[in-house]
Amino acid sequence: MTAAELKPRSRLPEWLRITLPTSDSFARMRSLLDELKLHTVCESAKCPNHWECWEKGTATFMIAGDRCTRACGFCAVSTAKPLPLEADEPRRVAEATRRMKLKHIVITAVARDDLADGGAEHFRKTVEAVRELNPGIVIEVLVPDFNDRDAAIESVLAANPHIFNHNLETVRRLTPSVRHRATYDRSLSVLQKVKAKRGDTIYTKSGLMLGLGEAEDEVMVALEDLRGAGCDILTLGQYLQPTLKHLPVVEFVSPAKFEEYGRRAGELGFVHVASGPMVRSSYHADEFNLPSMQRQG
Cβ neighbors of 34 (< 8 A, separation 6 or more) are none
Per the structure, the count of domains in the chain is: 1
Cβ neighbors of 187 (< 8 A, separation 6 or more) are 145, 166, 167, 168, 169, 206
**Which range marks the domain in which residue 57 is found?**
24-287
Asked if the structure places residue 8 within a domain, the reply is no
CATH of the domain at 82: 3.20.20.70
Asked if the structure places residue 7 within a domain, the reply is no
Supply the pLDDT for residue 52: 54
Instruction: Give Cα 235 distance to the centre of its chain.
Output: 9
Asked if the structure places residue 121 within a domain, the reply is yes
Supply the pLDDT for residue 45: 43
Distance CA 46, CA 48 (A): 6
Asked if the structure places residue 177 within a domain, the reply is yes
pLDDT by residue (tens digit) across 176-223? 999 988 999 999 999 999 999 999 899 999 999 999 999 999 999 999
Asked if the structure places residue 203 within a domain, the reply is yes
Asked if the structure places residue 2 within a domain, the reply is no
* DSSP string for residues in the chain: --TTTTS-B-SPPGGG------SSHHHHHHHHHHHHT-EEHHHHTT-TTHHHHHHHT--EEEES-SEES---TT--SEESPPPPPPTTHHHHHHHHHHHHT-SEEEEEE---TTSTTTTHHHHHHHHHHHHHHSTT-EEEEE---GGG-HHHHHHHHTT--SEEE---BS-TTTHHHHSTT--HHHHHHHHHHHHHHHGGGSEEEEEEEE-SS--HHHHHHHHHHHHHTT--EEEEEE----STTSPPB-----HHHHHHHHHHHHHHT-SEEEESTT--TTTTGGGSPPPGGGG--
Supply the pLDDT for residue 30: 73
Terminal-residue alpha carbon distance, the chain: 49
Supply the pLDDT for residue 294: 47
Distance CA 40, CA 63 (A): 8
Angle at 195 between CA 193 and CA 106, to 5 degrees: 95
Supply the pLDDT for residue 28: 75
When the pLDDT of each residue in the chain is averaged and rounded to a whole number, the result is 86
Asked if the structure places residue 128 within a domain, the reply is yes
Q: Evaluate whether 136 touches 161 at the Cβ level (below 8 Å).
A: no
Q: Which of 171, 239, 219, 174 is nearest to 12 (CA)?
A: 239
- Predicted confidence pLDDT, tens digits, the chain (297 residues): 444 444 555 578 887 766 655 566 666 777 787 898 887 755 544 455 444 554 554 568 999 998 999 988 878 788 899 999 999 999 999 999 999 888 888 999 999 999 999 999 999 999 999 999 999 999 999 999 999 999 999 999 999 999 999 999 999 999 999 998 899 999 999 999 999 999 989 999 999 999 999 999 999 999 999 999 999 999 999 999 988 899 999 999 999 999 999 999 999 999 999 999 989 776 555 666 666 434 344
Asked if the structure places residue 297 within a domain, the reply is no
